Amino acid sequence: MPAAPRPAERSWWLEEALARPEFAGPPAPPLSRDTAADVVILGGGYTGMWTAWFLKERDPGIDVVLLESDICGGGPSGRNGGFCDGWWGHVGDMLHTYGEADALELLMTCGRSPSEIGAWCEDNGVDAWFTRGGDLAVATSPDAEGRWEGTIEAARTLGVLEEYRMLSAEEVQERCASPVFGGGMLIADAANVQPARLARGLRNVLLERGIRIYEGTPVTRFGASKPAVAETPGGTVRAGEAVIGLGAWATWWKAFRRTLTVRGSYMVITAAAPERLEELRWTGGEQVRDLRSSIHYARATPDGRIALGLGGLQPDLARRIDHRYDFHEPFARRVAADLARLFPPFADVPIEAAWGGPINVSGFTMPFFGSTGRHGNVHHGLGYTGNGVAPSHLGGKILAALATHADDGFTRLAVVSREPKRFPPEPIRSPGMLIVNRAIRRKDDREDAGRRVGRVIGLLARIPRRLGLNLGPR
Ligand SMILES: Cc1cc2nc3c(=O)[nH]c(=O)nc-3n(C[C@H](O)[C@H](O)[C@H](O)COP(=O)(O)OP(=O)(O)OC[C@H]3O[C@@H](n4cnc5c(N)ncnc54)[C@H](O)[C@@H]3O)c2cc1C
């Protein structure tokens, strides 16, 4: 058996970024006294940081404090696959959930984010490897062929068919010659980034713009009063408005217990082997994903590595986030084996690192935003369900609007006005989801192996859809 992949210290992306002074940036020591601000932001991922950016855009004089328990980008924002795309891939579920007008508005609004992130990187001198290579969804089994038809149907209904291109198996092979890839669908309006460079670059620009960032500063108690009160080990922040950008860590807040749940996603990255990428003909910068519910997502790097991830994993009942969400050896081995199967020219290229991270899953698979608290001064943006790199940029615009009590197009979007879907209550939910989630993966794996999916597995895998959740197979 090959050696287990090395657990990355943080993620390979963060290791790469933090080794460079321009991304490590100046220190942002923990909060060590009481302070007051106009807005306090909890969480230094993309959501919290883009909110800070757009708050300053709205009001350059605003005083913003951002509290991060780890380092900015230490969570999923510095660990993800770097797929930087809007919601074109979600068009079927969006139409079903929001109806035509709202789905179209959301598609167009979030559709701007990848380009705007690219332009932001350019304007601010942040080299986040922004590559507009498109999003290539491929069938990896006969069962998966044509699984894009619902997407195409919904795109036709909304009049956005131009965004999608069907590819024959031969056309897919011209873009990425994996022996397991069949036909596919290309969405041109998608980019990919080095996620930790984006997160750290954003952090450092925020510091330059006067955002007060405190890293190593966990919020240990929060009061949704006016002012909102965020207690940390070194001091308390009082602020008129608060923004919750805690991702998966918000799952156990009373307000979100029924609307969020946690999954794990795990990645590996190979050593650089640009000649093997050439062999695969995968030199166009496309991000590649399969059409499984427990999705594989892969992208190449400018120096010729492949980073591959697998979603829909959970080491246990997922009732808390522990070290197994940073690294879990069985999952690391599994993803490494999948990489060799999907991209055989890389089978003997060493895996350089493996890591994971928690995904905050919502029932509609779309993020939800809103304001809570007796005074309406606590605002949240959560539930990206594994697609937050570009949507959190839109999320920052929405949250900045909410936190300044603006009544504008952002605060009226359906991801704000529509109540998120609720999950079944505990104690059914965690064990139920573990069983269903395993069935979903087993179904996907059997299909990929050309094996029959048993009736029980098929029935279990479809339970989420029967409950009205946009999760799992139809
Ligand atoms: C392995 C993996 C691969 C992914 N791949 C993709 C992809 O390719 N494309 C895509 O679009 N999305 C992807 N995602 C999802 C994407 O990373 C997230 O949707 C996005 O980063 C969410 O950003 P966020 O700011 O909302 O949350 P996070 O990045 O989770 O930020 C929340 C922050 O809150 C901090 N925090 C927690 N508790 C406290 C506390 N008590 N006090 C203060 N701070 C606290 C955490 O340390 C963390 O930094 C992936 C996620 C993972 C894990």
pLDDT of residue 459: 97
Model-level pTM? Answer: 0.98
Which residues fall within 8 angstroms of residue 104, CB to CB, at 6 or more apart? 158, 159, 160
Question: Rounded to the nearest whole angstrom, what is the distance from the C-alpha of residue 467 to the centroid of ligand 1?
Answer: 27
What percent of the chain lies above the pLDDT cut of 90?
97
User: Cβ(452)–Cβ(141) under 8 Å?
Assistant: no
Residue among 359, 352, 190 nearest 266 (CA):
359
Strands 235-244, 35-42: pairing kind: parallel
Average pLDDT across the chain, whole number: 97
Residue 3 has pLDDT above 90, yes or no: no
User: Cβ(109)–Cβ(222) under 8 Å?
Assistant: no
Ligand 1 pocket test target in 41, 69, 80 with most atoms within 8 Å of CB: 80
Strands 212-214, 64-67: pairing kind: parallel
Q: Collapse the DSSP code of 103 into the 3-class scheme (helix H, G, I; strand E, B; otherwise coil) and give the result.
A: helix
| Ligand 1 pocket member 395 (CB < 6 A) | no
* CA atoms 23, 129, 341, 388: torsion sign: positive
Q: Which two tokens stand for residue 354?
A: 């493996």
Which residues fall within 8 angstroms of residue 337, CB to CB, at 6 or more apart? none
**pLDDT class of 367 with cuts at 50, 70, 90:** very high
Atom of ligand 1 nearest to the CA of 11: 1
pLDDT in tens, 227-273: 999 999 999 999 999 999 999 999 999 999 999 999 999 999 999 99
How far apart CA 413 and CA 395 sit, in angstroms, is: 11
Question: In the chain, what is the straight-line distance between the N-terminal and C-terminal CA atoms, in Å?
Answer: 36
pLDDT of residue 8: 87
Write out the E strands in 151-220. 164-167, 184-187, 190-192, 212-214
3-state helix, strand, coil in the chain (%, to 5): 40, 20, 40
pLDDT in tens, 376-394: 999 999 999 999 999 999 9
| Ligand 1 pocket member 48 (CB < 6 A) | yes
Residue 1 has pLDDT above 70, yes or no: no
Which residues fall within 8 angstroms of residue 287, CB to CB, at 6 or more apart? 81, 82, 83, 85, 133, 134, 135, 136, 190, 192, 297, 298, 299
Residue 364 has pLDDT above 90, yes or no: yes
E strand or H helix at 295? none
pLDDT of residue 153: 97
Write out the E strands in 14-149. 35-42, 64-67, 83-85, 135-138
For the beta carbon of residue 432, count every other beta carbon within 10 angstroms.
Answer: 17
Mean per-residue pLDDT, 153-165: 98
For the beta carbon of residue 284, count every other beta carbon within 10 angstroms.
Answer: 13
Strands 228-232, 235-244: pairing kind: antiparallel
| Ligand 1 pocket member 312 (CB < 6 A) | no
How far apart CA 273 and CA 328 sit, in angstroms, is: 26
**pLDDT class of 122 with cuts at 50, 70, 90:** very high
Question: Rounded to the nearest whole angstrom, what is the distance from the C-alpha of residue 366 to the centroid of ligand 1?
Answer: 15
Question: Rounded to the nearest whole angstrom, what is the distance from the C-alpha of residue 359 to the centroid of ligand 1?
Answer: 7
| Ligand 1 pocket member 201 (CB < 6 A) | no
pLDDT of residue 357: 98
Cα within 13 Å of Cα(57), Cβ side:
14
Return the HEC string of 334-358: HHHHHHHHHCHHHCCCCEEEEEEEE
How far apart CA 278 and CA 55 sit, in angstroms, is: 44
The protein residue with its alpha carbon nearest to ligand 1, atom 27, reads 247
| Ligand 1 pocket member 181 (CB < 6 A) | no
| Ligand 1 pocket member 79 (CB < 6 A) | yes
pLDDT in tens, 100-118: 999 999 999 999 999 999 9
User: Cβ(279)–Cβ(348) under 8 Å?
Assistant: no
Atom of ligand 1 nearest to the CA of 367: 19
- Give the position of tokens 């809103």: 370
Residue 69 has pLDDT above 80, yes or no: yes
pLDDT in tens, 397-438: 999 999 999 989 999 999 999 999 999 999 999 999 999 999
**pLDDT class of 2 with cuts at 50, 70, 90:** low
Question: Rounded to the nearest whole angstrom, what is the distance from the C-alpha of residue 382 to the centroid of ligand 1?
Answer: 10
Mean per-residue pLDDT, 63-75: 98
The protein residue with its alpha carbon nearest to ligand 1, atom 38, reads 249
* Alpha carbon 421 to its chain's center: 19
pLDDT in tens, 11-47: 999 999 999 999 999 999 999 999 999 999 999 999 9
| Ligand 1 pocket member 54 (CB < 6 A) | no
How far apart CA 8 and CA 2 sit, in angstroms, is: 17
What φ, ψ does residue 441 adopt, rounded to 5°? -65, -40
pLDDT of residue 308: 98
E strand or H helix at 297? strand 296-300
* Alpha carbon 370 to its chain's center: 19
Ligand 1 pocket test target in 13, 42, 77 with most atoms within 8 Å of CB: 77
pLDDT in tens, 262-313: 999 999 999 999 999 999 999 999 999 999 999 999 999 999 999 999 999 9
pLDDT of residue 321: 95
Which residues fall within 8 angstroms of residue 143, CB to CB, at 6 or more apart? 447
